Structure 1
């Protein structure tokens, strides 16, 4: 009796092979052959699940974004639930920490995400995913700050749109610097900078 293969699970396993190859050798080495070898499949099997290399790269980028997004949303659900989190500040810090390379898993994810977003400049098929992730991040930060203002944790006159942009830029900048210079930007420093920024917001800017 032939083995039944779950197509969704197989596509995800191939995407993981892309990430594994890219993490070791760079995204440019994630060819169909190298990915197939990493996944333990024939190239024909990979092509059975993905029409071409572009579709594989797009799917993999979305899978990576989904991993990060799932963790962020878990914190957001706690923070934005009707009954509210008992310690909103702590949960807010945990949520923002998911965007930063604070441990080995997040360091690798951040490096891979930066590689994909850099590739989006010359690969048009990747641009929608990069834009969606950026827009989603901005929308989430806006909602978090809006709810904090509504709950009295931030000044009533705070410009939420401006501060959401500023916070997103801060997280992006810290992520880039920590990826390039992990010795100069250790996790403890990244967390201190975020806490200082939140303190400044609470004080009115």
Structure 2
């Protein structure tokens, strides 16, 4: 009988013992809930309450990991930036391929265009957060990281093409990087707002044509 009682007590303790929650995983889950709400309904709807519902959590659980609404949104923007940077970084090494630098550049730069569902969602989030940063000073440094990151990527692409001799030596590389970044921004905005007109195939054709034009 004593053995049975001990076994029963052990099972009871396991049943009622609190589940250990990984804080990093929980914060990431909340960030992903922010993404879904923003993509579907816009930044204005990404309140603590709405995000808690989207994540399947009590609002108190969200407040446990984030001190405020701004804290939650800033964490989500930072998570988005790291996600994009990690994926692009995995392709940047291919820019050193000197056999035809335009092809690696095309592949790497296409990572920031809304060519599939994942990249389209990222583009929607980027536009939403960048627009929100105009009136939310706390978001401005993060929006500028995305702005500067795109220009760094474009400058690296055209610089390596220049080193390989596949574009004109007389080009102002800084200006060409700005021109390329502006092109990518325009293709992204059109791809998000007019996906039936700026299709992935058309966006890639425009990017490819621009890179080819640099060698004239």
Q: TM-score, normalised by structure 2?
A: 0.88
Q: Which residue of 2 aligns with 1:68?
A: 84
Q: Which residue of 2 aligns with 1:156?
A: 169
Is the contact made by 2:161 and 2:167 (CA closer than 8 Å) also made in structure 1? Answer: yes
Instruction: State the secondary structure of the residue aligned to 1:168.
Output: helix
Q: Which residue of 1 aligns with 2:59?
A: 43
Unaligned 5+ segments in structure 2 are 1-16
**CA distance, structure 1, for counterparts of residue 112 and residue 155 of structure 2:** 15
Unaligned 5+ segments in structure 1 are none
- The reply to whether residue 140 of structure 1 matches residue 153 of structure 2 is yes
Q: Which residue of 2 aligns with 1:112?
A: 125
**CA distance, structure 2, for counterparts of residue 86 and residue 59 of structure 1:** 40
RMSD: 1.4
Instruction: State the secondary structure of the residue aligned to 1:45.
Output: helix
Q: CA deviation at 1:3?
A: 2.1
Aligned residues: 200
Residues 188 and 45 from structure 1, CA distance in 2 versus in 1: closer, same or farther, beyond 3 angstroms?
same
**CA distance, structure 1, for counterparts of residue 195 and residue 168 of structure 2:** 34
Query: How far does the alpha carbon of each residue in 1:125-158 deviate from its partner, in whole angstroms, 9 at most, with x for none?
Result: 1000000111111112112211211121222222
Structure 1 runs (4+) deviating above 6 angstroms are none
Instruction: State the secondary structure of the residue aligned to 2:165.
Output: coil
Q: Which residue of 1 aligns with 2:215?
A: 202
- The reply to whether residue 11 of structure 1 matches residue 24 of structure 2 is no
Is the contact made by 2:159 and 2:173 (CA closer than 8 Å) also made in structure 1? Answer: yes
Is the contact made by 2:52 and 2:62 (CA closer than 8 Å) also made in structure 1? Answer: yes
Query: How far does the alpha carbon of each residue in 1:62-107 deviate from its partner, in whole angstroms, 9 at most, with x for none?
Result: 1112222222111112224xxx365532221111111111111111
Larger Rg: 2
